[in-house]
Each structure stands twice: as structure tokens, then as C-alpha cells.
Structure 1
Amino acid sequence: MARHTVLGKGPIGRTLARHLADAGHEVHVLSRSGPRPGSPARTEVASGGSVAHHVVDGADADALTTHARGSAALFNCVNPAYHRWVTDWPPVAAALLTAAERTGAVLVITGNLYGYGAGNQHMHEDDAPATRETKGRVRARMWADALARHEAGALRTTEVRGSDYLGPGAEAHAHAGPRMLTPLLAGKVLRPVGSADQPHTWTYLPDFADALVRAAELPAAWGRPWHVPSPEPLTLRQVAERFAAAAGAPAPRISPVPVAVVRALGLVNPMMREVAAMTYQFTEPFVADDAASRRALGLQPTDWDTIVARTLAAHRADHPGPVATRP
């Protein structure tokens, strides 16, 4: 059993913590709010592993160091509000670098595909950052700073990059989470942003956790980024059709929100302004190549039938209610 520290308790952080605990590890989850209301600060699982929650400011390097000391890996699973990345990310990223240097824990960064930028319709880990968008630049700078410390011998790090995620535990804002499933199962119109007919890579949350853990424990994975092994790309329409068929719900009715409308909303809403900047992900192909990571990490993605079945079961457990029937 090893000790691991996870900063952040969003969908990825929670999935990762449970994955590690189920493998028998001692997991310490750090967040600004601690355990969820009504939940214990520490829980044990049948495997002998445990998850303990601590209230910690992610920008406090001393606090991160204290909690990460003795950890095999320090996982960055934080995700600030979209419109606050420029202000909120740099101090957290700097604190994590300091804590990794002080403790010797492998810093494993939960990354995304924003740094590649628009127009890169088939992304590879070796592609140079080309984004002109603010959030992508923030993420690209974070990885560049971590890699520079790694190459200088100050710490050990890797970044695991996933696409839009889905699966048990996905929250309301996820494109293929409750935002899609709730109206789909009720037979209502889906309102995705931009388009529902461009090929898109989707990352299953448990596969994300698998890749983070494997990258942390494999020295050959350190010093470079990896894409989470993900199933074959599907359009959002195809994803919705698979879920509808599995649930016995009517075929999806889809009416995308035009990009122009999202941009107009962004004039008065900072969050929508940042969403508008990312609409290229759904108005052009958005596909991540994971061949290198499958070979290096020794992982294969979960198949679509399993993803749909498990995600649908989890959604129904969290959102009980009747499902619209096919005519």
C-alpha cells in the first residue's frame, strides 16, 4: 500500500481517489471545502484502502508540502472556474511544483487538449502548442514550466490529457453528462453548442483514472504528456443515439445552439465568453490520437457498450424517474 495525494475533488479527483483506494492505497484528497456535507472526513473500503479529506488552499505550497510528504504521487486534479483560469491557475500550479520538489512525489498533472488549438483535427502528444486562446495558453504554460523543472532534475512529472469526459460521476456541465442525458431520457430536445455532427474524442472517467495512475507509477512515462486511451471518436449525435437505444428512449431530437448566440451571451456573461472561445471543439473534428499512450501505458479504453451501460445505470441511480418511450 502506498500513500497518494490528490488535489481537487471534482469528477476526475473523486474517480481517481476511489480507484486508488480500491487498489488498497491510502489516499489524501485536498480541497478548499473538505468532505461533502454529511460525509465523513475519512472512509475505508473493503480492499483496505482509505480516502481522507483535508481542507487545503491549493495555492499554499507549505500546506501542500505537509500533506504530500511521504506520497508516491501528487495528482493535480483541480479545475478552476472557466473565467478564472488566468488568475487562479498560476499560483496553484506554482505551489504544486514547489510541493513536488520538496517531497519527491511524482507530480501527475490532469491535462486537457486545449493547448493544441483550433484547426488541429487529429491531435498527437508531440504536437507543439499552437493555441491562441487564453485558457489553452494557461495550460500550455503550466506544462512547459513543469517540464522545465523535470528536465533540470528538480522534480519528476508527467501530464495525462483527456478530452470531454463522460461516465459515472460526470457533473451537469459535461457535454455528455446530465446535460445531455436528462433531456434525452425525457424525450426532450437536446441543445448542444455549435454542432452535433463532428467526430469527437470522448474520455471515460474510469479510463482517465487508470491512465493517471499508470503514468504515475511508470518511470518511462515521466517527462512527457500522454493522451488517455479513449474509445473510437463519435459525434455527439451518435453518442446520444447509443444512449437512447440502450435506455429504450425515443431517438434524440437535436437543435444546436448557434455559435453566434453563444458569443452574444458572452458579451454579458464571463463564463459564456469562455465557452464561446472553445466552440471550435464541436464545429470541426476534434480527435486525439492515443496510439502512443496505449503502447507505453499498456492500457486499452473501455468499449462504448460498457461505457453506455455503466453511465446510464449511474445516471438513473442519481436521477430516478420515468423514461420517455419510443413511439
Structure 2
Amino acid sequence: MTGEKGKTNLVLGTGPLGMSVMERLLLEGQQVMMVNQSGQADVPEQVQVIKCDLVKETIPLEIIKKVDVVYHCIGLPYPQWGKLKTIMNNVIQALRNSDTILVYADNLYAYGPSHGKLVETLLYRPVGKKTRIRADIATFVIEEHNKGNIRAAIGRGSDFYGPRVRNSALGYRVFEHLLKDKSVDIFGNIDTPHTYIYIHDFAAGLVTLGTRTESLGEIWHIPSAETMTTRAMIEKICQELGNSPSYRIANRLILHALGLFNQEMRELKEIYYQFERPFVVNHNKYKTRFGEQVTPHEQAVRETIKWYRDQNSKNKIS
């Protein structure tokens, strides 16, 4: 899907997803500014990075007046998720009564455990603080849109992988370890279906939402390549590398033990259900309205391996 050239966009966050959205926008000939806490990031020279701590302040009005679409791609470590509500409050305060569109990059936590495919019409069934935070934020965004205070759409993606993505289920504990011929660290049932989305596909879907006004007021599951088991995904990576995987798999008991010493592991217990039973995302709503252009996992895996290899080469040089 091609965006409207000449638009000016503001991407909130310079993490893996924010950077992928920035690259997609530039590819489509659009202008991009970005926001993070430091005002610095490794971006092309035509991209301005604005210093703004959205936990403490709103986006300056003079910036909002310049942009057509704001892409909210801010992610925080699990222990800091309590700040996400404050960030969204400040973003919406800046956008109230403007024509600027908000595209919020969300995950699938709000639905809680589900026994079937995940569709946009599911009720929210939070099972802990992280799932509750995501449900509350999404509800707030849609309510503000329905009240006419903002113009917004929500794009949801499952666990993503790809260039720059390190801290994820298919992050460095899989790609980096396999490149070094080490065992992959994974948790849950690796033989149950689980939807993984390539980060560039997630970014492309979000940009489509920002350029199509019929997306507004709705929640959309961004398309991904076919769902397969985690084991099958890891085997695809090994096929590209020409080696065989070995696994260190954490079950609930091991995760609990690790959580006694590691806060990040403690936080994972709440969403363990996503990896012990089928976690399959349905994106027919998006496909019917906007079409479906996804990267085959084989290509996505090759591009991800190349990124990790390039990073390793850079680290050796430095």
C-alpha cells in the first residue's frame, strides 16, 4: 500500500518499531520527524529528532501543527509499563481538537487468554497489570476518537522479529545464539502455533492506517506471514544458517524460579499463556479493506540474519 507523498509525520519512539516506521515513510517519499527522550538517534540526515520526555510533558503545539500523522511506537521495559498510560494521556492532550491523525502501535495483550483465533471483536479479558494497562489504553484511545476529541486508529501486531529487534521471543536469544552455535533460550510450548510478525510488515501496516482515513476509529490486526510453531520458525533460521538447533526451554516452574532473581522474568509469568497454547492472529479485517502484502518468513529470516551479522562485524571493528 502506497502512502500519500508530501505528508509530514511524527514518529514517537526510536526503538525497533519506530525506526522501521520511519524507514517505511521515507521509502514512500514522506517527511519524517521523530521524538525520544535524548533528542538523538542514528537516523538519516533529513530526519529531525526532537527531544521530548512524554512521561513529563506533551508534544509541543508548534510541532503538532506541522504534522499530518503521529505514529505512537513507544515501547518500555515491562517494569516501566506503568508509565505508558501517562505517555498516552500526554500524547492525546497534544492532539485534542487538531486534525492530526494518531496511529497507535499496540500488541495483543488486552484480549487475555483466548481459545480461538484472535479477532478484533474479542472482549478484553485482562489477567494482570500489563494486560490491564493495554486494555485501558486502547479503550481510552477509541473513546477519545468517538467523542470527536482526536482522530485515531489502532494497529495491533503479535510478537515481532527482524532488524534491530533484540528483546523479543525471536530476538537475540534465538538469532544471536544460533549465529554463535549456542542453544536458543525460549519458553513455553514450542510445538504450539504462534503468530510472529516481521517488523517491517508491522511498520508497513501502520503506515497504511495513517494514510487511509477509513481506518479511523477502528482496531486492525496487521497482516503477517503464515502462522507456524515456534520450533518451525527456529528451524527456518537454522536452515538459512546451515546448522541444527538445540534448546533450553523454560516452563512455568523454571520461569517462576528465574523470577525470584530477575524482575523481567517475573513479568513474563503474566503472559506465559501466549506461549503454552495456540496464539493465532486473524487479520482478515485488514486484508479485506486494505489488501495483504507480507514478507515470507524465509526472506524475513534472511534479512534478520544479515542485520545480526552486520552488527557483529561492526562490534568487532569497534
TM-score higher than 0.5: yes
How is 1:185-224 mapped onto 2 (pairs within 5 angstroms)?
185-224=179-218
Name which of 98, 104, 107 aligns with 1:112.
Answer: 107
Q: Which amino acid aligns with 1:150?
A: H
Moved more, 256-265 or 122-131: 256-265
1:208-254 residue CA offsets vs partner (Å, 9 max, x unmatched)? 11111111111111111111100111212111111111121x22112
Q: Which of 92, 95, 99 is the aligned partner of 2:90? A: 95
How many pairs align? 309
C-alpha change, 1:121 and 1:253, in structure 2 (3 Å) is farther
Asked if 1:271 corresponds to 2:264, the answer is yes
In 1, the alpha carbon distance for the partners of 2:35 and 2:175 equals: 30
2-structure distance, mates of 1:285, 1:65? 44
Match of 1:35 among 16, 33, 40: 40
Identical amino acids, percent of aligned pairs: 28
Question: Which residues in structure 2 correspond to 1:31-180 (within 5 Å)?
Answer: 31-36=36-41, 39=42, 43-44=44-45, 50-86=46-82, 88-171=83-166, 173-180=167-174
Q: Is the CA contact 1:267–1:273 (under 8 Å) kept in the aligned structure 2?
A: yes
Q: Distance in 2 between matches of 1:43 and 1:300?
A: 26
Deviations 1:94-128 (A, max 9, x none): 01111121432111100000011023441001111
Return 5+ residue gaps in structure 2 as ranges: 1-5
* Large movers: runs of 4+ above 4 Å: none
Q: Please say if residues 74 and 105 of structure 1, whose CA atoms lie closer than 8 Å, have aligned partners that are also in contact.
A: yes
Is the Cα–Cα contact under 8 Å of residues 59 and 91 in structure 1 kept in the other structure? yes
Farther off after superposition, 254-263 or 202-211:
254-263
Answer whether contact 2:13 2:75 (CA < 8 A) is retained. yes
Task: Measure the CA separation in 2 of the matches of 1:150 and 1:5.
Answer: 19
1:301 aligns with one of 294, 309, 312: 294
Paired amino acid for 1:147: I
Instruction: Give yes or no for contact 1:164–1:203 (8 Å, CA) kept in 2.
Output: yes
Q: Secondary structure at the match of 1:256?
A: strand
- Aligned equivalents of 1:311 and 1:121: distance in 2? 30
1:26 aligns with 2:31: yes
Gaps of 5+ in 1: 45-49, 322-327
Residues 19 and 209 of structure 1 are in contact (CA less than 8 Å); yes or no, is this contact kept in structure 2? yes
Residue 282 of structure 2: which of 289, 292, 295 is its match? Answer: 289
Q: CA RMSD in A?
A: 1.7
Matches of 2:292 and 2:64 in 1, distance apart?
A: 27
